[in-house]
Chain A
């Protein structure tokens, strides 16, 4: 069972040969491809992380801009509403004043016309009564 002979050194030589061959055809190419792959993966991971950061920054910027513009348009709407309100109330007030003025003028005119019509009527009543009197007196 323990018979040592030339098998021993020859096995050692064979093993070293096997190691050289496997190093050339297995270990080197596989190590290269594994390391290349891990470099690639870590590179693309870094790239993806950077991209994600950029996306986050841009999203934040957009959100900020969105909030700003919302605030802006709200203030614009509020201003416009206030202005419109003001204009409307001004116009209403003016219209009301005009209406009141027109009514007053009309009332005044009406009163003047009434007076002149009354005067006319009185005059006519006077002349008519004069005529009646005259006709009556003529008959007498």
Chain B
């Protein structure tokens, strides 16, 4: 359902057109066999991935006991991620989940900031425009479905079929709500990220369209802040969901007293 915000075109004097135009829901389609994919999302994603991989290679190319330069930066990020994962999942079981939560955080963070910091508009695509990969609902839903799979995997791996016990654990009356939660979790995760990033880019776009210079800067800064927070929120919630699946309702108190 392409939805254009070309209604703002009443502002379109020829001067504005070159500066900014808003397009939502227009995509640069690639056709793979009978499948359609959003090319602009993939281009931006590959860019983000290459940034991450290059940064990682630079950081670990010449790894040293006393960190310097890129290694120092990535170790800072690594410490942050480990701390976040440990806080969410707990000292005992957080280690295997660090790569997942960490990749989520780094990927979303770099995606969001790339959308805010890199002048994608300078690169013209035949259709649609380059932006943060996270402002496409496909990306965010893919990520949140992965989170769902991850916490189900965590639960089943820890407790086997006993994982289902958590649905009826305090009382079977809450069973519908417990089942509903498994749908609302990915839904809220994906829409929160998608909505925030898309809204941020739209606000900046509209402001740039109305007042091209300086005025949008505070909103852009706010956008950077929101982007970072959204990455943090996504990673934190993913950790919290995994923790919930690992703990269940039954042995929660046991854990607290241990």
Please tell me if the beta carbons of A12 and B65 are within 8 angstroms of each other in the complex. no
User: What 0/1 pattern do residues 133 to 144 of B give for CB contact below 8 A with A?
Assistant: 100111101110
Please tell me if the beta carbons of A22 and B142 are within 8 angstroms of each other in the complex. no
Residues of A within 8 A of B107 (CB): 15, 18
Residues of B within 8 A of A3 (CB): 1-2, 25, 27, 137
Q: Which of B11-52 contact A (CB under 8 A)?
A: 24-25, 27, 32, 35-38, 41-42, 45, 49, 52
Residues of A within 8 A of B (CB): 1-12, 14-16, 18-19, 21-23, 25-27, 29-31, 33-34, 36-37, 40
**A27 CB, min distance to chain B CBs, angstroms:** 5
Residues of A within 8 A of B42 (CB): 7, 10
Please tell me if the beta carbons of B53 and A29 are within 8 angstroms of each other in the complex. no
* Segment touching A, from B72-80, B173-181, B216-224: B72-80
Please tell me if the beta carbons of A5 and B98 are within 8 angstroms of each other in the complex. no
| Contact A27/B37 with A12-B146, A15-B103 known, Cβ cut-off 8 Å | no
CB < 8 Å A-B pair total: 117
Range for the number of chain B residues in contact with chain A: 35 or more
Residues of B within 8 A of A30 (CB): 59-60, 63, 71, 74-75, 78
Please tell me if the beta carbons of A11 and B41 are within 8 angstroms of each other in the complex. yes
Given contacts A16-B146, A22-B102, 5 further A-B contacts (CB under 8 A): A5-B35, A8-B145, A12-B143, A19-B99, A34-B82
Could you say which of A11, A34, A37 contacts B138, with CB atoms under 8 Å apart?
A11
Please tell me if the beta carbons of A7 and B38 are within 8 angstroms of each other in the complex. yes
Closest to B36 in A: A5
Greatest chain B CB density within 10 A among A1, A22, A27, A30 is at A30
